[in-house]
């Protein structure tokens, strides 16, 4: 007597394939793109620093996952890595430029500027007024030399914000010429002649 046939259990369903883990690569691309855009904008570009750094990290991790078969967005990870690196280079350039500008301003603010005022001519009763505006200081002086030529040197520390030199002839008239030299470089000159004529050297 043969054994009864029992029904066989159904074969188990195959396990579903693992889903690709593309989150890191995608995040790296988005961060790299945003960081690159912000890196072109002065001042606001400061926010690009964390974006491009995180973009490099996430894109690199996404690339590693794609190489090991855990992700399928290898191209997007590479693009994110490239964008992040370019953004980082731009951030470094902006930082170096800003540091150079700050250094130049500091050097300019700490140096001593020499202003040379000079008046020449034939006027015998000239009246001279000179003003210098330095960094946080200002001075105005008036002189009536007995004879020309006349000169005066003034030193001011920091940024030279301007000044003026004017010379006016008196009742006897004559010719006058004013000249301003800043650190050895002639910046202004003017002439005048006649009674109560004024030569002005300002705006330097």
Q: What is the pLDDT of residues 16-70, one digit of tens each?
A: 556 778 899 999 999 999 999 998 887 777 889 999 999 999 999 999 999 888 8
So what's the pLDDT on residue 189?
A: 92
**Are 158 and 89 found together in one domain?**
no
- Give percent of the chain with pLDDT exceeding 90: 46
Host domain of residue 187: 111-202
Residue 78 lies in a domain: yes
So what's the pLDDT on residue 169?
A: 94
What confidence tier does 123 reach under pLDDT thresholds 50, 70, 90?
very high
**Are 138 and 156 found together in one domain?**
yes
Q: Is 3 helix (H, G, I), strand (E, B) or coil?
A: coil
CATH of the domain at 182: 2.60.60
How far, in Å, CA of 142 to CA of 129, rounded? 4
Instruction: Give Cβ neighbours of residue 126 (< 8 Å, ≥ 6 apart).
Output: 119, 144, 145, 148, 150, 167, 168, 169, 170, 174, 176
Buried b (16+ CB within 10 A) or exposed e, 35-68: bbebbeeeeebeebbebbbbbbbbbbbbbebbee
Residue 2 lies in a domain: no
Residue 34 lies in a domain: yes
Residue 18 lies in a domain: no
Q: Report phi then psi at 21, rounded to 5.
A: -100, 85
Q: How many domains does the chain have?
A: 2
So what's the pLDDT on residue 57?
A: 95
**Are 28 and 54 found together in one domain?**
yes
Of 29-38, 51-60, 103-112, 164-173, the least confident:
103-112
What confidence tier does 128 reach under pLDDT thresholds 50, 70, 90?
very high
Q: Which of 63, 83, 109 marks a domain boundary?
A: 109
CA dihedral (59, 63, 69, 73) positive or negative: positive
Q: Which of 60, 76, 109 marks a domain boundary?
A: 109
Q: In the predicted model, is pLDDT for residue 161 greater than 70? A: no
How far, in Å, CA of 37 to CA of 105, rounded? 29
Q: Which of 109, 141, 161 marks a domain boundary?
A: 109
What are the tokens at 8?
């066989």
Residue with tokens 């090991």: 68
What confidence tier does 199 reach under pLDDT thresholds 50, 70, 90?
very high
For the entire predicted model, the pTM comes to 0.52
How far, in Å, CA of 20 to CA of 70, rounded? 5
């Amino acid at each position: 007597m043969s054994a009864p046939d029992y029904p066989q259990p159904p074969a188990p369903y195959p396990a579903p394939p693992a889903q690709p883990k593309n989150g890191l690569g995608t995040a790296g691309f988005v961060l790299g793109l945003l960081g690159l855009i912000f890196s072109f904008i002065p001042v606001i570009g400061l926010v690009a620093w964390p974006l491009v750094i995180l973009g490099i990290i996430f894109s690199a991790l996404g690339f590693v996952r794609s190489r090991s078969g855990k992700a399928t967005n290898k191209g997007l990870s590479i693009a994110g890595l490239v964008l992040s690196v370019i953004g980082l280079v731009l951030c470094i350039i902006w930082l170096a430029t800003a540091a150079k500008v700050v250094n130049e301003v500091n050097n300019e603010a700490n140096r001593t500027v020499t202003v040379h005022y000079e008046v020449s001519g034939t006027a015998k009763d000239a009246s001279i007024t000179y003003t210098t505006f330095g960094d946080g200081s200002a001075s105005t002086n008036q002189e009536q030399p007995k004879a020309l030529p006349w000169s005066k040197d003034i030193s001011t520390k920091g940024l030279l914000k301007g000044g003026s030199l004017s010379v006016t002839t008196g009742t006897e008239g004559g010719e006058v010429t004013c000249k301003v030299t800043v650190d050895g470089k002639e910046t202004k000159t003017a002439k005048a002649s006649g009674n109560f004529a004024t030569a002005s050297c300002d705006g330097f």
